[in-house]
Amino acid sequence: MPLTDAQCRAAKPAAKVQKLSDGRGLFLQVTPGGSKLWRMNYRWQAKQRTAAFGSYPDVSLATARLKAAELKDKMAAGIDPAAKEGTAAGAAPVKPFKDAAREWFNAREAQWVSGYAARIWSRLDADVFPKIGAKDVAAITPAEVLALLRDVENRNALEMAKRLRQTMSAIFRFSVANGWASSDPAAPLAGAMKSAPRQQHRAALKEDQLPDFLKALQTYSGDRATALGLKIIAHTFVRTAELRLATWDELDGDTWRIAAEKMKMRKEHIVPLSPQVQAMFAELKDLAGGSPWVLPGQSGHKPVSENTLIYGLYRLGYHSRASVHGFRSTASTILNESGLWRADAIERQLAHVPANEVRSAYNAALYLEERRRMMCWYSDLLDKKESQSVNKKSDTDLTDLLS
């Protein structure tokens, strides 16, 4: 049935683009951002096209119908509706790709940590904007997108090219949703990308290797704070940056509450602290003096550098044998294989957030009581592993004496 003006006024934005049909190809497109755009699908010389007639209520229902009728009259007379100079009835409004990218970036930036956001924009600024930044987002072709991606691949930056295609595809989809473009020219290129070499996973210790590691950590000859930092990572399996950027005001008794802006997924995270970890933090507090940082650098005014903990592993003799991030994999494997804890509780403690989880519904305290028991259990397990290394050494010393 044809639209009424009341229906046009009452149309509300939803999570996805809505199309309210008036018949004969004319429809009102309602974007998630609240825009109401007049569009008309038609075919010219066997090709599907979409005409743009402006936005409602600036262009009324009656005027949109009149423009639709004019377009059909042109077609009947053999005139290309998009051939008129200027902004023709069949021409989509011009939106430079860089402007579309900026609006997409602004809409997403709050979800990202600052470093990740900076990398996204830097890639676009270096490899995309110089080539197609000034071009209308609706006029960009798959061949143009592939050409700039090939330039990136030719630098042997295969993984970057893959991520750049994904970013561009997201921008094109955002543009389609907002009525600036009718398709995503980056989407069909996924199969045309060169394959990157098989990625090497970050080295992680297996459970039977933990006693030797913890033994080595007991006799670490470097900075005591670095040794404690590595041990806290092993017990809590947080990411390096989450400990490196930690401040004392985040700690409250047996709870470590990490602010969203410090987390990879921009969501607050709670780490229950076992008695063992609380003792480690207490020792670090003494070492930190009056610094607000849990792991202060030499000046005390900034945290330690990004490489401090990984260099600590190298000093222990674990270069290429273990990584700081690898303790997350170690913990995940042990906790899942124990059969004692729900997978959802383990994933939440790893700060893994389902992609479809609604931001407003995220609950940092989900499964918290189970996670408290789990973290204490895990610290107890590591204590046992550490004791095994001591007992093993004692048994070896006794054997040497008796031999």
Instruction: Assess whether pLDDT exceeds 90 at residue 346.
Output: yes
**pLDDT at residue 357 in the model:** 53
Q: Cα separation of 242 and 281, whole Å?
A: 14
97-106, 117-126, 360-369, 392-401: which has the highest mean pLDDT? 97-106
Domains along the sequence of the chain with CATH: 5-76 (3.30.160.390), 97-192 (1.10.150.130), 207-402 (1.10.443.10)
Q: Cα separation of 266 and 259, whole Å?
A: 8
Residues forming the active site: 239, 264, 325, 328, 352, 362
pLDDT in tens, 167-217: 999 999 999 988 888 889 999 898 888 876 655 556 889 999 999 999 999
Q: Cα separation of 174 and 187, whole Å?
A: 13
Q: Cα separation of 95 and 102, whole Å?
A: 11
pLDDT in tens, 137-173: 998 999 999 999 999 888 888 888 999 999 999 999 9
pLDDT in tens, 4-35: 988 998 988 888 888 999 988 899 998 887 88
Q: Kindly report the number of other CB atoms within 10 A of residue 58's CB atom.
A: 9
Instruction: Assess whether pLDDT exceeds 90 at residue 250.
Output: yes
pLDDT in tens, 308-340: 999 999 999 988 888 889 999 999 999 999 899
pTM of the predicted model, to two decimals?
Answer: 0.53
Q: Cα separation of 238 and 325, whole Å?
A: 8
